[in-house]
Amino acid sequence: MFLDFFYLLREQGLPVGTGEWLAFERALASGLEGGKLDGFYHLGRALLVKSEGHYDLYDVAFARFFHGFGLPAEITEALRRWLEQPAEIRSEALPTLINPEDLREQFRRLLEEQKERHDGGNRWIGTKGASPFGQQGQNPQGMRVGEQGGGRSAILEAEARQFQNYRTDVKLDVRHFKTALKTLRKLDREGPEVLQLDPTIQKTARNAGEIELVFAPDRKNAIKLLLLMDAGGSMDPYSELVSRLFSASHAVQHFKQLEHYYFHNCVYSRIYKDIAQRTGVLTKDMLRELPSDFRVVFVGDACMAPWELTAGSDFSLGYGATPMTGIDWLRSIRKHFRDAIWLNPEPRRYWNHPTISQIGAVIPMYELTLDGLKQAMRRLRIGRRDLR
Amino acid sequence: MITDENGELPTFTGTDEYIVSESLVSAVNAAVVLQRPLLVKGEPGTGKTLLAEAIAQGLGLPLLSWHIKSTTRAQDGLYHYDVVQRLNDSRFNDRDVSDIRRYIKMGVLGQAFSAQSRVVVLIDEVDKADLEFPNDLLHELDRMRFRIHELDEEVVARHRPIVIITSNAEKELPDAFLRRCVFHYISFPDKTLMARIVKVHHPHLESQMLDAAIERFYWLRGMNDLKKKPSTSELIDWLAVLARGGVSPDDIARRLPFPGTLLKVEDDHELLGKKLERRFN
């Protein structure tokens, strides 16, 4: 039952699995939704959605599934127009409960038969009646038509999309960055040996009270991170976002080693320590200096004129330099280090830009949103070489 | 499915002091019926911790609370074997150390599992602990049982407790953990719900006064650059102060008396000062 709804949720990008769905079906079987669409809405949200960041996805899917009900758009439009002015009529008799499929079918049939406006009554589509169709009606199994609900209906609630601001694919602050970065870790025992209290006590107890001391190095995060950030002009709208990522990565004090450099549009033979791009080092030297066990995070919009990426001249070294193109530099960075990903603040829908896809083919690209960041960190942690 | 003595599903509808929204009721009852932990998130001051108390009160069950700190480990909630005490006792020979049971102390989950009747367990601020903490509890919360290795015994819950977990979203919770939970995000109450909540605490307040105060409160919360937005408990305190101070509804609408009860950060006071000045000049 309602399996279409499940797939619609998944289609919307809500990470809902079979386990949750089965739990939901069990809950429906025990009648927890109380025979009301409102109950269905709340119950589904409690069991299928696991983050307030995904509430909005659920609302969108719910509204789509229950609002449209697969009706031709122009009829809904016409209905909505005359449903907008309800009449003050009440009706007593309520028909018995109907299952949604029948309801939908009956609605279609009625739509074909009905040619005029109805308020009250218990059969036709209209306002304030006991018919299962229309607005402000009293049939608990009914279907509301149009946007303006009388009471607080579930569909209305879903359509209001009050959780839009909580979406994880839009909002990012320093703390979000910190949490995402913290997931990037690989614990290794290293450093000076320290007294381990718990094993010491255990060993001593096993030894019947003869003190035996246990030493071992503490566990520390072994991950080294290299941040390479685009400070070019087209990145200006995102400078605030990038600076948040920058401050978060320093504030977590989580990595064994953290290095950062800036570049302009694309990495060429020179790379910079500061945003103003005054203190530069040779990219070659950076590659020589940093051991290959660094993980690299590029941040940039990857949008540039195609020749900036593929022309065989070097803009920062002047005449006579080795003709290595931007994409060549990216390839050599990718090759040198253990793993690299690219975070792009441009929304994914604009990613058909030629240089974005070219760069994306070399370095796996993720959206600079909470979800994208999480996926990127996961990829860096697992370190799978090829996901493409 | 768990039923009470009368064979009926116990349902939670809130208590006299704790007003709940329809969606929260739905989430609580789903958690009770499906016997899954209920994970509650929300802004500070929306009553996440109080919910567990209200559920315990509403269903007439005892409440066991486990407040999580940054150093808390999953093991702490199960049991603790006090080796040091035992070692110490053995050295000075002042107690019988042969019985290991005397040195095994149950944690909150341990107590809940071995309780004679069903209890409500509150795991408060689960995100304070290490990232792996929730994963370490997965098995125990799922199966409602754990092993005491020192005794080679298994503790199995006689009555599956109702588990309420709160989180301030300081850390992301692992997916495997989330999959097993019923989730609810307590959003900040709207004006109507807020009026009901306030009336519980100030039953004798004139409605005119209440309306004016709530209007002002939401106006204040609407200021986006506030460092710390006032929450429900601050509104309740503020109303108490207003009532004592003999302030009229007009005063509330015209200026903002006793802002110190609502705003706790110095910068916010400055901001408010500027806003009010601009508004009335």
- Give the Cα separation of B191 and B121 in Å (integer): 31
Q: What is the reported pLDDT for A108?
A: 62
Chain B residues 216-245 within an 8 A CB cutoff of chain A: none
Nearest Cα residue in chain A from B8: A30
Of the listed ranges A81-90, A295-304, B44-53, B98-107, the least confidently predicted one is A81-90
Mean pLDDT to the nearest integer, B197-206: 85
Q: Which residues contact A228 (CB under 8 A, 6 or more apart)?
A: A260, A261, A262, A263, A267, A271, A296, A297, A298, A299, A300, A333
Q: What is the reported pLDDT for A97?
A: 42
* Alpha-carbon separation of residue B176 from A11, A15, A53, A292, B180 (angstroms): 21, 12, 17, 32, 7
Please give the helix or strand (H or E) that residue B272 lies within, else none: helix B266-280
Nearest Cα residue in chain B from A43: B26
Please name which of A112, A49, A102, A43 lies closest in space to residue A75, comparing C-alpha atoms: A112
Total residues belonging to chain A: 388
CB contact under 8 A, A15 and B175: yes
Chain A residues within 8 A of B90 when measuring between CB atoms: 209
Of the listed ranges A365-374, B24-33, B87-96, B149-158, the least confidently predicted one is B87-96
Q: What is the reported pLDDT for B120?
A: 94
Please name which of A367, A365, A357, A359 lies closest in space to residue A327, comparing C-alpha atoms: A359
Task: Compute the nearest-CA separation of A204 from chain B (Å).
Answer: 9
Q: What is the reported pLDDT for B61?
A: 92
Q: What is the reported pLDDT for A117?
A: 47
Chain B residues within 8 A of A183 when measuring between CB atoms: 131, 172
Residue B40 predicted with pLDDT over 90 = yes
Q: Name the maximum alpha-carbon separation found in chain B.
A: 81
pLDDT tens across A208-249, in order? 877 788 888 777 778 888 989 888 777 777 877 787 788 778
Q: What is the reported pLDDT for B170?
A: 67
Please give the helix or strand (H or E) that residue B64 lies within, else none: strand B63-67
Tell me which residues of chain A have a pLDDT lower than 70: 1, 67-175, 187, 190-191, 312-322, 383-388
Facing residue for B172 by CB, picked from A166, A179, A204: A179
Chain A residues within 8 A of B34 when measuring between CB atoms: 23, 26-27, 47
Using an 8 Å Cβ cutoff, are A120 and A91 in contact? yes
- To the nearest 10 degrees (0 to 180), the angle between helices B232-244 and B191-201 is 60
pLDDT tens across A79-109, in order? 444 344 333 332 333 334 445 555 556 666 6
Total residues belonging to chain B: 281
Facing residue for A45 by CB, picked from B23, B25, B171: B23
The one-letter code for the residue type at A41 is Y
Using an 8 Å Cβ cutoff, are A302 and A350 in contact? no
Nearest Cα residue in chain A from B179: A20
What average pLDDT does the structure give for chain A? 72
Q: What is the reported pLDDT for A169?
A: 55
CB contact under 8 A, B183 and A162: no
Q: What is the reported pLDDT for B113?
A: 93
CB contact under 8 A, A182 and B131: yes
Residue B260 predicted with pLDDT over 60 = yes
Residue B187 predicted with pLDDT over 70 = yes
CB contact under 8 A, B34 and A27: yes
SS (H, E, C) chain A: CCHHHHHHHHHCCCCCCHHHHHHHHHHHHCCCCCCCHHHHHHHHHHHHCCCHHHHHHHHHHHHHHHHHCCCCHHHHHHHHHHHCCCCCCCCCCCCCCCCHHHHHHHHHHHHHHCCCCCECCCCCCEECCCCCEEECCCCCCCEECCCCCCCCCHHHHHHHCCCHHHCCCCCCCHHHHHHHHHCCCCEEEEEEEEECHHHHHHHHHHCCCCCCCCEEEEEEECCEEEEEEECCHHHHHHHHHHHHHHHHHHHCCCCCEEEEEEEECECCCEEECCCCCCCEEEHHHHHHHCCCCEEEEEECCCCCCHHHHHCCCCCCCCCCCCCCCHHHHHHHHHHHCCEEEEEECCCHHHCCCHHHHHHHHHCCEEECCHHHHHHHHHHHHHCCCCCC
Using an 8 Å Cβ cutoff, are A363 and A349 in contact? no
| Sign of the CA dihedral with B134 first, then B135, B137, and B140 last | positive
Using an 8 Å Cβ cutoff, are A32 and A43 in contact? yes
CB contact under 8 A, B175 and A201: no
B166 pLDDT tier (thresholds 50, 70, 90): very high
Chain B residues within 8 A of A30 when measuring between CB atoms: 1, 9, 33
The token pair at B49 is: 């911790």
Task: Compute the nearest-CA separation of A155 from chain B (Å).
Answer: 14
CB contact under 8 A, A50 and B181: yes
Please give the helix or strand (H or E) that residue B245 lies within, else none: none
Residue B2 predicted with pLDDT over 50 = no
- Interface contacts A/B by beta carbons within 8 Å: 81
- Give the Cα separation of B216 and B227 in Å (integer): 18
